[in-house]
Amino acid sequence: MAGRVGRWVILSAAVLVTVLLVAHPVLPGGRLLPTLLPWLGLAVPVLLVVGIRRRHRIALVAALLPLVAWLGVFGDRLIPDSEAPYDLVAVQHNVSDVNPDPGGTVRTLLAARPDLVALEEITPEAVPAYAAAFPAEYAYRTVHGTVALWSRHPLSAAAPLDIRPASFGADWNRGLRAVAHTPRGDIAVYVAHLPSVRPGLTGLGTAPRDEAATKLAAALAAEPIANVILLGDLNATVDDHGLKPVTSRLGTSESEFAFSFPKALPVARIDHVMARTLTVTSVRTLPETGSDHLPVAARLRF
Q: Mapping DSSP to helix (H, G, I), strand (E, B) and coil, where does residue 148 land?
A: strand
pLDDT of the residue at 67: 85
* Cα 253 to chain centroid, rounded: 10
CB atoms within 10 A of CB 133: 18
Residue-wise pLDDT tens digits, 144-190: 999 999 999 999 999 999 999 999 999 999 999 999 999 999 999 99
Report pLDDT for 175: 98
pLDDT value for 293: 98
CB 117 within 8 A of CB 149: yes
Q: Which CATH architecture has domain 88-301?
A: 4-Layer Sandwich (3.60)
The DSSP symbol for 51 reads: H
For residue 173, give every residue at least 6 positions away whose Cβ sits within 8 Å of its Cβ, in sequence order, or none. 144, 145, 146, 147, 160, 164
- For the beta carbon of residue 66, count every other beta carbon within 10 angstroms: 25
Mean pLDDT of the region 228-257 = 92
Q: How many CA atoms lie within 13 A of 53 on its CB side?
A: 8
What pLDDT does 2 receive? 47
Q: What are phi and psi of 43, to 5 degrees?
A: -65, -25
Domain locations in the chain as residue ranges: 2-78, 88-301
User: In this structure, what DSSP letter does residue 38 have?
Assistant: G
Beta bridge mates, 176? 160, 191
SS3 content of the chain, % helix, strand, coil (to 5): 35, 25, 40
pLDDT of residue 30: 56
230 or 25, higher pLDDT? 230
State mean pLDDT over 123-149: 98
Helix/strand/coil for 12? helix
**Which phi and psi angles does 108 have, rounded to 5°?**
-65, -40
Q: At residue 209, does pLDDT exceed 70?
A: yes
Compute the average pLDDT of residues 127-145: 98
Band of pLDDT at residue 1, cut at 50, 70 and 90 = very low
Which residue type does 234 have? L
CA distances (Å), origin 1, targets 4, 8, 58, 90: 5, 11, 15, 59
CA distances from 150 to 132, 191, 229 (A): 12, 11, 14
pLDDT score at 31: 64
* Local confidence band at 201 (pLDDT 50, 70, 90 cut-offs): low
Q: pLDDT at residue 247 above 70?
A: yes
- For residue range 9-49, what is the model confidence (pLDDT) as tens digits? 777 888 888 888 887 777 665 567 777 788 888 888 887 77
The CB-based long-range contact list for 57-62 (8 Å cut-off, 24+ gap) reads 58/7, 58/10, 58/11, 59/6, 59/7, 59/10, 59/11, 59/14, 62/10, 62/11, 62/14, 62/15
Query: Mean pLDDT across the stretch 217-235?
Result: 98
Mean of pLDDT over the chain: 89
pLDDT reported for residue 34:
74
Q: Please confirm whether the linkage preceding 80 is cis (ω < 30° from 0).
A: no
pLDDT digits (tens, 9 = 90+) for 81-106: 667 789 999 999 999 999 999 999 99
pLDDT score for 57: 72
